Structures are given as structure tokens and as C-alpha cells.
Structure 1
Amino acid sequence: MDLNRTDYKRLGDYIREVDVRNRDLKVTKLLGVSISKEFMPSIANTIGTDMSSYKVVEPRQFAYGPVTSRNGDKVSIALYKEDESAIISQAYTVFEVKNKQELLPEYLMMWFRRPEFDRYARFKSHGSAREIFSWEEMCDVELPVPPIEQQQKIVSEYETVTHRIHLNEQIIAKLEETAQTLYRKMFVDGIDKENLPEGWRMGTLGEIATIKAGGDKPKVFSNYSTEQYEIPVIANGVENMGVVGYTKHSVIKEPAITISARGTIGVCFVRRKPYYPIVRLISVIPNDKNFLHNLWFQLSSKQFEGDGSVQNQLTIPVLEREEIMIPKHKTLEEFERRMSLISNIIELKTKQNRKLNELQSLLLAKMGR
């Protein structure tokens, strides 16, 4: 889309505020708006609350929270896509597009998803105790408004990618559910630790795995994966599976399980490819590679008790003493074979979604060109 500033229009010419209250209490579906720009079920305690003052939001209307401070530098704004009416807190501002033949709500929502919009809204926010992105400032937003046919084409491209991402997420969730069911069927249901099947026994984690602590962050380090920097650097975190960057050389080359060792301890991930662990992370490397996924399930279900006077901390000696069920090799081998097939598909779908998310970002970026 080739645009110049003369193609930009003032948003206030296309939208209007809506303030309909739930006076008759007919609407009971209570929602909030997340910083991921989606409507979500409200978690507010509404016991004793007068719901008649709550605002009604209808399909294809918008709602946003004007307060932008302490909000992760993002504006909580979303387009309501459901068919039935809902209510939201009176703290939100509800608005709609005046003429949907001139501006598609879905096209406008794409504009709100751009990082540039969040930066603009934070810059324009003002206030002493808390910073507000006012309705007046919202109306002063400028954006390109191409012909409706072009808007529809842009929206269709974006929604096709979004649909594919959601489909992959559903497949991943189903595969994870299948893996959980398989584990329970083979190692939990009907299994008594005091009367284990023939060839099974109880032991310790130190018997069946090598345990290593993470080290310092590598000096040669990149925020993005490239041909040169392709080894993930893993930290003690959940977001992006703890990946904080990439480097040239790996420390752990064998399939392993990482466990968060500080703060929220015991968060486990399977690592099937070489990686570079850093401080506050512990790597558990099974001596038998067929133990990998079974051990991950066992460790993930444990309630670890760390030590440390100031901050909860998990140590190698504590882990080495941890009790582990050790099934016979043939059973582990069969489970690992099945889990490898499931994991391969999950990794493929996850990789596809990373690329699709990158494509979404490109589509949003193109809107301002």
C-alpha cells in the first residue's frame, strides 16, 4: 500500500462514542479487555455491585481502557466479535464506527494492534496520579482509510493468517491432551508405588540423570536467531519457554529437561536440541534418552521445596535426592517413541505459528506505508 500523509484521515470523523447502560439488567455477560487486545471474562468481584450502571457493548463495537500507565505500555482495546450483547465496567469507553461502508471495524482493529499505535497512545497520555489516553486524543488519531474494497482485502489476508494460528493452537492443545492421557494410562492409572509392576522400582533422580547448573550469559549473544547465532540461550522463565536470545555454541548437547531454580521453582521444559543454560536454571540430563518425556511428566507434577533464607531456591543436592519412579526399559522406550511423534508435530506447529506471527506483524506494518 503506497500512501502519503494526505491519505491519512482523522479517526474522529469516522467513530462516535456509545454510552448505553444496563438499566433493565437484561445483559448478564460481564467482560473485560486485556492488554493483548481481546475481550475476556471479567475476574472482578461483583458481589453487591449495581450492574445497572455497567455499559452495554454490542457486536462490532469497540471498548478501551483510557488508563495507560502501569499497563505494560499497551492500550487495552478490543473489537467485540460475539453475537450477543455484553456488559463491561463503566471505566471503559465504548465506541463504534459510524458508517461501516467507509471504515471496516476489523480494519480499524488491525490499526489498533500496531505497536506504533500503542507508542502513540502512551506519548499522548497525560495526568498526574495516572496517565489517561482521552477520548479527544483517540479522535485525533490519524490513519490511512483506503477504499472499502482494499480494506476488506487487507482484513481478509490478516484473518486468514489468524485463523491458521488458531487452528495450530487447537492442534497443539489436542496433542498435549493426548500426551497427558497416554502418560496417565501407562504410568499413573492403576499404578501403586508400594506394589509396582515387575521390573519397575523406585529410585532417586541422581541415579538416573546428570544434573547441572546454568552459568553466566555468553559474551557472544544475539536477540534473534540467525544462521550464525542459532543456539538458544535459556533463562529461568516461562515466556517463550525461557529463550532470551541466541549464541554460537551450546553447553548442553544431549536431550534434557530444564527446571527453574529461583523464585517460582519447578517450572519444567523438555529441551530436545542443544542449548545454552544460564544462571537460576538447572538442567536434568537423563542417562537413558528413553527416559526423557516420562521424567518430564514426573518432575512437572512435583511440588518442590527449595531452600534459601531470602528467596526460594532449588539446588542440585535437593534434586539429586528427589524420589523418582523407574519403569522397565521396554515401557519407557515405547512411551518415548510415541511422545517423540507427538513432540515433532507440536514443534512443527509451534514453528509455523512463529512464522505466521511474523507475517501478521508485517501485514500490520504495511498498513502505515
Structure 2
Amino acid sequence: MSSNVPQLRFPEFEEEWEEKKLGEVFIEVNEKVGQRNLETYSITAGQGFVSQKEKFGRDISGQQNAKYTALQVNQFAYNKGNSKKYKYGCVYLNTTDKQIAVPNVFISFKLIDNEMSSVFYAKLFENHYLDKGLRQIISSSARMDGLLNVNKKYFFQLKIIVPTTPEQHKIAIFLTSVDEKLQALKKKKELLEQYKKGAMQKLFSQELRFKQDDGSAFPDWEEKKLGDIFDIKAGGDIDKSKVSDIKTGLYRYPIYSNSEKEKGLFGYSNSYSISEKCLTVTGRGRLGIAHARFENFYPIVRLLVLIPKIPANVVFYENIINQLNFAIESTGVPQLTSPQISSYKVHYPSFTEQEKIADFLSSIDGSIENVGKQIEASQEWKKGLLQKMFV
């Protein structure tokens, strides 16, 4: 198969894709804002154009605004700032409904042929197509403003693919529909999270109460210190010989730390130190992140472990603790200790009501998790799709 023919394409197209310099397909946009009152935008990697008022709370362009570039709808800008998502900077299409002002340190450009698809090239650029070329032209010398040192002349000499215009539009329509479905899933997840947040506010303020199975009211809630509900201890060190990065038949017990990633999963051990149903709460880094634990595990690095000493549903208290504001005063590295967390006061409903609330919130969490898995699967599918659809 020719290197200029994609692996996956619509059957009605057979022509090889051309390869051209960026400057043969696009032309620089250097129109200045001047005295016009155009809203100022920046580029955020992974999002695209974001109003400076939204991003920073105000317009930060100041007196430089007149020198900013006036960017029309369906025109592009390359942000030379590197990020975790775009190591060599990123290009985005102005998909707002208006002409906007963008920093003149961006390289702004537009299609020479208006019949070509700007959306096709937006998808191409978002898929890191320019990375290989950018890596070769970025100067090793650093700029004082922290931006990548990219020569505009060499930028417009970067090679890009050029399918026929009808094929561009067909691909653009298809990929837009893929993105719309992905955005719909993200919106669904966001709405579920908002619903849970609102439900918790009403449940924990007792504005909304469950009834007992016989229809009668549950008893009034008590207030207790966490130290009265839980035995609280902190994780310690673990011998390296007992640690594995992967789960095996021997190394099958999770090791949990204070990390936010993967609910604190650090690795696996051939032994455990906690066997009770309990909670872990981060005592280092971002303080106070609670997770209910139901399996045997090994806590490390001062991770707090809360083991019920009176009837307490750990899922209920996971949600309660995650609502707390741990304002810890410290002259050094912020930390949450066993004595500190023990003194925090929380609600204590009857155990049966705790269970009802926990089951309700868990059902919402299950829905959120399922949608999250759909989003991850869709993103992986899209990634594989783009690799096959672009040469």
C-alpha cells in the first residue's frame, strides 16, 4: 500500500493523497486588532480557544491588545506553549461564532482555498500530525517567555497531507459525528455528577430523608467525632521484597498510598496488614480523599486507615469525609494525622439509614463509572480510528 494512502477510508475514494508544504495550503493571518473591541482568547491544550475572561477571570491583554491578531471563524492558530498533552505546541481552529483577538505570539493562518475543509485539518492537527515536523524545527534555545522557539518560516515548510476536497469533507463530517457522540457521553457523566452532588447536599443536610421499611421515620441524627466512630491508624513502610508492580497469584494484595491516581493503588504485596472493611484517607499531598476498602490490603506512607469500632457504613462515611474541608495549619509539608482527623465532628445516623443512603449513592456512582468506561472505550476507539484514517 502506498504511504500516501490511508489504511481506512471511504470506498468511493481511491486517489493517493498529495503531500504539500503547509505554506502551499495555508496562508498567514496577520491582521491586527487595532481599535476594534474584539474579545480576547487564549488556547488551552485539550480544549482549544478559551476566553481570557473565562480562563483568568479577566482580559490580561492590556495595552498589547491592539497588537493582537484578529482571527476570523474557521481560521487557525498555533500556540507555541508546550504541555503534557501537546509537547510541541498545539493548533486549534476558531470554532466560536465570531472574530476574536488572539496573542500575536501565536502563528495564525487560514486555508488558501475556501472550498477545502477546515474541520478536516482541525482534526488532523489535534491528532498530533505536526509533531514529527515540529520536533525537527524547534530550536534548542529557550525563550524568555517560556514558549517553544519555532521559526515561522520553517513552520510553513512543514509537510501535510492533502486529500481531495470531497474526501476531506466526508472525513470531517464523520469525525464530527464521532466527537459529538463522545461529547454527549461526557455531558451525561457531568450531569450524573451534578445530580449526585445535589442529592448529597439534600441528604446530608437532612432536607431529604429516607423512611424505614414500615414507613416510619428514622431516629434523629447524632453528632460524633470521627475518633469515636473509628479506630484510626497510619500506614508505614513496606519491604521492597514484598512489592510487585503487577498482580500475580503470590502478589495479590493491593498496596495503597496517598496518591490520587487509581484510588491510591501503588502496587501489590504478598502480605497484608489490614483485613477489616474500612476507609482510607489521604494524609499527605491532597489531604482528606477517602475511599471505602473491602479487601485485604497494605497501607503505606502514612495513609490513614479508619476501621469502624461501632456500626458504620464505610461507603456512607466515604461520602461524608469527602465533603469535609481539612484546613490543616502547618509550617512544613501539609499533612493530616490520626489525632487531627479524630477530632472532626460528623453526622451519625442509625446504621440502617446509613445503609439506605450508601446504597442510593452507590447506584449513582455505578452509573457514573459505567459512563466513564464508555468514554474511555470511545476515546481509545477514536484514537485507533484516527491512526488508520490519516496517513
How does the TM-score come out when normalised to structure 2? 0.75
Which amino acid counterpart does residue 206 of structure 1 have in structure 2? G
Contact 1:306-1:315 within 8 A present in 2 as well: no
Q: Which residue of 1 aligns with 2:348?
A: 326
Q: Which residue of 1 aligns with 2:8?
A: none
Matched residues in 1 for 2:348 and 2:155: separation? 61
Which amino acid counterpart does residue 128 of structure 1 have in structure 2? S
Q: Do structure 1's residue 118 and structure 2's residue 128 form an aligned pair?
A: no
Which amino acid counterpart does residue 77 of structure 1 have in structure 2? V
Query: What per-residue deviation string (whole Å, max 9, x for no partner) do you get for residues 187-211 of structure 1?
Result: 21669xxxxx844212222343455
Q: Which residue of 1 aligns with 2:360?
A: 338
Q: Which residue of 1 aligns with 2:3?
A: 3
Matched residues in 2 for 1:271 and 1:324: separation? 20
Matched residues in 2 for 1:188 and 1:4: separation? 62
Alignment partner of 2:226 out of 190, 205, 213: 205
Which amino acid counterpart does residue 30 of structure 2 have in structure 1? D
Which amino acid counterpart does residue 12 of structure 1 have in structure 2? G
Q: Which residue of 2 aligns with 1:106?
A: 119
Q: 1:170 to 1:282 in 2, by over 3 A?
A: farther
Q: 1:58 to 1:287 in 2, by over 3 A?
A: farther
Q: Which residue of 2 aligns with 1:65?
A: 79
Q: Which residue of 2 aligns with 1:166?
A: 183
Secondary structure in 1 aligned to 2:175?
Answer: helix
Matched residues in 1 for 2:123 and 2:204: separation? 47
How does the TM-score come out when normalised to structure 1? 0.79
Q: How many residues align?
A: 359
Segment of structure 1 superposing worse, 147-156 or 322-331: 147-156
Matched residues in 1 for 2:295 and 2:259: separation? 18
Which amino acid counterpart does residue 176 of structure 1 have in structure 2? E
Q: 1:86 to 1:186 in 2, by over 3 A?
A: same
Cα offset for 1:354?
0.8
Matched residues in 1 for 2:187 and 2:295: separation? 24
Which amino acid counterpart does residue 321 of structure 2 have in structure 1? L
Q: Which residue of 2 aligns with 1:85?
A: 99
Q: Which residue of 2 aligns with 1:194?
A: none
Contact 2:280-2:291 within 8 A present in 1 as well: yes
Query: What per-residue deviation string (whole Å, max 9, x for no partner) do you get for residues 196-241 of structure 1?
Result: x84421222234345564565874325xx99x99998765444x55
Query: What per-residue deviation string (whole Å, max 9, x for no partner) do you get for residues 292-327 of structure 1?
Result: 444233322322244765311122332233322111
Q: 1:271 to 1:180 in 2, by over 3 A?
A: farther
Secondary structure in 1 aligned to 2:385?
Answer: helix
Unaligned runs of 5+ in 2: 6-16, 209-217
Contact 1:15-1:97 within 8 A present in 2 as well: yes
Matched residues in 2 for 1:254 and 1:155: separation? 54
Contact 2:137-2:155 within 8 A present in 1 as well: no
Q: Do structure 1's residue 261 and structure 2's residue 261 form an aligned pair?
A: no
RMSD: 3.9
Q: Do structure 1's residue 361 and structure 2's residue 383 form an aligned pair?
A: yes
Matched residues in 2 for 1:304 and 1:53: separation? 46
Q: 1:199 to 1:66 in 2, by over 3 A?
A: closer
Query: What per-residue deviation string (whole Å, max 9, x for no partner) do you get for residues 236-257 of structure 1?
Result: 444x555677658896787765
Q: Name the larger-Rg structure.
A: 2
Q: Do structure 1's residue 36 and structure 2's residue 46 form an aligned pair?
A: yes
Segment of structure 1 superposing worse, 132-141 or 67-76: 67-76
Cα offset for 1:127?
5.2
Alignment partner of 1:133 out of 150, 159, 164: 150
Matched residues in 1 for 2:314 and 2:124: separation? 44
Matched residues in 2 for 1:72 and 1:233: separation? 32
Q: 1:271 to 1:101 in 2, by over 3 A?
A: farther
Matched residues in 2 for 1:187 and 1:69: separation? 40
Q: Output aligned runs, 1:215-230, within 5 Å.
A: 219-221=243-245
Cα offset for 1:262?
1.6
Q: Percent identical across equivalent pairs?
A: 23
Contact 2:90-2:126 within 8 A present in 1 as well: no
Q: 1:338 to 1:129 in 2, by over 3 A?
A: same
Matched residues in 1 for 2:292 and 2:150: separation? 43
